[in-house]
Structure 1
Amino acid sequence: MAHFRDPGPIEFDAVIQRSTVAGSASFVQFPHSVPETFGASGRIPVRAAFDGIGYRGSLVTYSDGHLLLVRSDVQTEIGKTTGDTVRVSLTLDTSERVVELADDVSAALTAGGAEDAFRALSYSRQREYALWIASAKRQATREARINRTLQRLAEGRANQKPG
């Protein structure tokens, strides 16, 4: 993990925004300079709360600042949407990020000798694969996705988005 300066708890009010680009996610703009606040730039792992509802995510670079995504399930839980003001609390997340895998996925990675290659992927990419596999409606589809993941890992192509 990169080294960040821990500024302690940060709180601010922000308006939930959304780009006009189709398929875009909702977000809040971080109102401070990330390099000055955290001693680094780029992606900053944080534990956040929107009106008290917890979320584990990252501040990500956007244009000339940073933003924090506001997942739709969090918006539903707090009863707010684009244009509404939300109270944001966040702290630097220094804990290791580990994607929990279903038993069959873990067993397949181990049997295929691909567990180390999978764990070498970024947390976000591991999570994408785990969610992609878990979203299969039929067992045959799930097995095919597990096999495709193993194949991509073996070929060194697992950094591509699953699907």
Structure 2
Amino acid sequence: MSHIPPALFVALAELVPDLHVHCVEPWCLIGSAAARLLGAEVTVADIDVLASPADADALAMLWADRRDAAHAPADGDRFRSHFARFRFPGMPVEVMGGLELNAGEGWQAVSPGRLVLAGLQGMAVPVPSLDDQIRIFESFGRDKDLTRAAALRRLHQPSALSITSSS
């Protein structure tokens, strides 16, 4: 696994227990933080949480004092959700309840697919599987997402160090 930057660790240490306690329905991390937890060498500027609309609303009430009301999400014509951005120690957290993508074929729900648990200092952090993260990034289609998908694809490649046998 790649090194977890201190800012990401600090934010996850405060965020993940709250998500386990307060989310009624399944949730997971997506985006660069999820990719980093699986070992991809990507830069993480914020943490994206995919949740149900009801859980996103509950988190918005729970974290009302942390809300960054001035922030407007980018690509509003491509993405819609029960969205809110929150200030956490280390880095911002963006919650997307019922995230949908419009890639030219109408609004489609973003499905995380098969979830796996990434372990971090005793915390179980649900993230989409490697293949599902690649699928999600490619469906988003932005340059930054395609770069992240490529970083995840490199994890499929055999290690540069291999043992050779001689006959």
Q: TM-score, normalised by structure 1?
A: 0.26
Larger radius of gyration: 1
Q: TM-score, normalised by structure 2?
A: 0.26
